[in-house]
Structure 1
Amino acid sequence: MNTAKTHTLLLIDDKPANLIALKSMLEHPNREIICCQSANEGLQILLKEKISLILVDVQMPEMDGYEFVEIIKQHPDTANIPTIFVTAISDEPKYINKAYDLGAIDFLFKPLITEVTRKKVDSFLKIWDYDQQLKSLNEKLQVKNSELEQFANIIAHDLKTPLNNIKSLIDFIEEEHVLDLKEEATGLFEMVKTSAMDMSKLIDDLLHYSKNVENNEGKESIHILTEINGIIKLIDTDNNIKINKENLNHNILFQPVAFKQIIQNLLSNAIKYNDKDVTEINILYSELDKKISISDNGPGIPENQHEKVFDMFYTLGKTSRGDSGTGIGLNLVKKLAERNDVTVHFNNNYTEGTEVIISNLITS
């Protein structure tokens, strides 16, 4: 019965005797070892075989080991294959540095020591295995996330139709029969009406989330002040809301749609959850720290909930204005921030309200 091969090794050396000796050191039941006598032949093999590790001689005619490694590191299908140089060249730092600069992971110096050669190869094959497992888990996670996002989108769309029917019936009852309802029934009717509105908002937020979290357009240079001014115009503000802007005349690299969604969510929360007669919001860009801070004079968020509020469906309950969030907005903020390689977090030392910080911004 044939044993399945776990790894395929590629050995490249222009001298057959060296290949025979190296192959004998590395033979193992779980390995397939392919030998070739030129770098060009090695490149042809890489087009056809899935290689776990390459051992290549430095000094070869036509194309030497350095040139070979430089070529394979430029191709995405072969760039991550671990490569070890086998050489009789002096172990001077200039040669070693050149190899590492090209992307090699180690050196083996001739004459080869059998036990050292075996242990190095065993170690790098384990690293290869871990790397493959990590890639596999990451691919599965991406598939699961995509499926969950599609599921949320489908469910939200499917719930829309019956909910719209319920809302239409509620509107009809309210217009035609609300005066006929007894006092107790009127209270129950208001509960049904409120529940329908809450459910409608939840579905809208789910649709909004699934649409925006999949949006992966490239980063662009955006003008902070221009974008924020546009967002403020879209938010329903009144005379009791004051928004102060400081040092926003700068450009950063960001996905435009993602930036709008993040700022709009944070500003909307600062307004919705504020308990003061006059809502004050400060938006500041720090050139030194490369961050945007949004602070308010609201009731603040307990420090032990600073991380929880970014979880899907986690809410702080009713706002001072009587409505409640769905627990989706801040999770969307977190996702969009991660997609742009920035972080969003609360300032634990801010005690006069809430301060949210968008950090690790890249200027343009």
Structure 2
Amino acid sequence: MNTAKKHTLLLIDDKSANLIALKSMLEKPDREIITCNSGNEGLQILLREKISLILVDVQMPEMDGYEFVEITKQHPNTASIPTIFVTAISDEAKYVNKAYDLGAIDFLFKPLITEITRKKVDSFLKIWDYDQELKKLNEKLVAKNGELEQFANIIAHDLKTPLNNIKSLVEFIEEEHLLDLKEEATDLFDMVKSSAMSMSKLIDDLLHYSKNVENNQGKEAINILSEINAVVKLINPNGNIKITKENLNHNISFQSVAFKQIIQNLLSNAIKYNDKEITEITISYNEELQQIAIKDNGPGIPDNQEEKIFQMFYTLGKSSRGDSGTGMGLNLVRKLAERNEVKVHYNTQYKSGSEFIISELQTT
């Protein structure tokens, strides 16, 4: 029964006797071993074969091992192939450093010791296997990201369509019944249109964020007060909600859309889960500690659940107003914070409600 070849090794040496000896050390049923007598021949082989590991002699006529490796590392199709130098040259630092600078991964010094040679080759072939698996996973991830981007576009379209319909209907009613509307009704219609436009803009921003922002890219200097004012305007709290802002006129480095999303989630939770007649929320910035605190006068988080609330799909049940969350908000808050290299945690020492801390902020 034929055994499938898992790896292909390329051995390069101008002396055939050396190739025969090295090949005999490394032969295994799942390996194909290709030998050649020059660097030029080796380059030709690399054009048509998928090689897992190269072992190349340093001292060869016409093109030595150093020149061969220098060429392979300049081509994207061969740059990542692990290469071991096989040499009789002294192991002085200047020779070793030159090889590593060119991109070689290790040395084998002649006369070769069979056991050491086999173990080194086995180890680097395992590294090759891991590298190939990572490439496959990365390809799958790229494909999945493409699917998610397409899904985000569909969701954005489906969300914006009813918002545009609402805006059009309100405008139609205003035009047809303008004379019949009282001043209070006109103000309400303006609020509906403004909220619809704000939501449409938020959807556009989130779609842009999901498509174009990765890790900590896109950070900029933002003003805490301006960003929070924009969020408060979007939430549009009524007379039963009192929001106090303290010392917020400072600039920090943050992704603007991510910051707004974090603040909106934390404020929405503070309002939704509050059990008092008047909801009181305080947003403050501490210059010395470089942190933002958002605290409220609600019921707080039950003991031993301070970390669970950041888990995906974990909820505390129905809010004081009867609705329930999806369990995604605080998980998103933490992920957005991590993307911006900051931390978000619940302050267990605060006993007059809930307090969330955004810490390790970078000022500008």
TM-score, normalization: structure 1? 0.67
Which string of whole-angstrom CA distances, capped at 9 and with x for unpartnered residues, describes residues 263-321 of structure 1?
4434443454455642112245778xxx7544424544346434433344332233445
Q: Determine the structure 2 residue equivalent to 1:11.
A: 11
- Percent of matched pairs sharing the same residue: 67
Cα gap change, 1:362/1:351 in structure 2, threshold over 3 Å: closer, same or farther?
Answer: closer
> Is contact 2:255–2:340 with CA below 8 Å preserved after alignment?
no
- The farther-off stretch of 27-36 and 88-97 is 88-97
Cα gap change, 1:345/1:100 in structure 2, threshold over 3 Å: closer, same or farther?
Answer: farther
Q: Secondary structure at the match of 2:84?
A: strand
- Note if 1:296 corresponds to 2:295: yes
Q: Determine the structure 2 residue equivalent to 1:222.
A: 220
Which string of whole-angstrom CA distances, capped at 9 and with x for unpartnered residues, describes residues 312-354 of structure 1?
433223344554333233333345455x373644156553533
Q: Secondary structure at the match of 2:118?
A: helix
Q: How does 1:1-364 map to 2 (within 5 A)?
A: 2-61=2-61, 63-73=63-73, 75-140=75-140, 143=143, 147=147, 211=207, 214-217=210-213, 219-225=217-223, 229-235=226-232, 236-237=236-237, 240-245=242-247, 248-250=250-252, 252=253, 255-274=255-274, 277=278, 278-284=280-286, 293-298=292-297, 299-302=299-302, 304-337=304-337, 340=339, 342=341, 344-347=343-346, 350-352=349-351, 353-357=354-358
Cα gap change, 1:233/1:213 in structure 2, threshold over 3 Å: closer, same or farther?
Answer: closer
CA-based RMSD: 4.2
C-alpha separation in 1, matches of 2:6 and 2:323: 59
Query: How far apart are 1:124 and its partner, in Å?
Result: 1.8
Q: Secondary structure at the match of 1:89?
A: coil
Query: How far apart are 1:41 and its partner, in Å?
Result: 4.0
Query: How far apart are 1:7 and its partner, in Å?
Result: 0.5
The AA in structure 2 aligned to 1:342 is: E
The number of residue pairs the alignment matches comes to 315
Which string of whole-angstrom CA distances, capped at 9 and with x for unpartnered residues, describes residues 116-157 of structure 1?
111211122123223333443454456457657766876897
> Is contact 1:12–1:35 with CA below 8 Å preserved after alignment?
yes
Query: How far apart are 1:25 and its partner, in Å?
Result: 1.8
C-alpha separation in 2, matches of 1:220 and 1:349: 32
Query: How far apart are 1:101 and its partner, in Å?
Result: 4.5
Which string of whole-angstrom CA distances, capped at 9 and with x for unpartnered residues, describes residues 55-109 of structure 1?
1223345554344444544554434322222122222334334434444332211
Cα gap change, 1:357/1:159 in structure 2, threshold over 3 Å: closer, same or farther?
Answer: closer
Q: Secondary structure at the match of 2:283?
A: strand
> Is contact 1:153–1:210 with CA below 8 Å preserved after alignment?
no
The AA in structure 1 aligned to 2:55 is: L
C-alpha separation in 2, matches of 1:142 and 1:262: 26
Which string of whole-angstrom CA distances, capped at 9 and with x for unpartnered residues, describes residues 137-192 of structure 1?
45445645765776687689789999xxxxxxxxxxxxxxxxxxxxxxxxxxxxxx
> Is contact 1:294–1:355 with CA below 8 Å preserved after alignment?
yes
Query: How far apart are 1:112 and its partner, in Å?
Result: 0.8
Q: Secondary structure at the match of 2:223?
A: helix
Q: Determine the structure 1 residue equivalent to 2:177.
A: none
Q: Determine the structure 1 residue equivalent to 2:188.
A: none
C-alpha separation in 2, matches of 1:151 and 1:43: 45
> Is contact 2:86–2:107 with CA below 8 Å preserved after alignment?
yes
Query: How far apart are 1:222 and its partner, in Å?
Result: 0.5
C-alpha separation in 1, matches of 2:62 and 2:255: 47
Name stretches of at least 5 consecutive residues in structure 2 with no aligned partner.
163-199
Q: Secondary structure at the match of 1:262?
A: helix
The AA in structure 2 aligned to 1:215 is: K
Q: Secondary structure at the match of 1:80?
A: coil
Q: Secondary structure at the match of 2:108?
A: strand
The AA in structure 1 aligned to 2:227 is: G
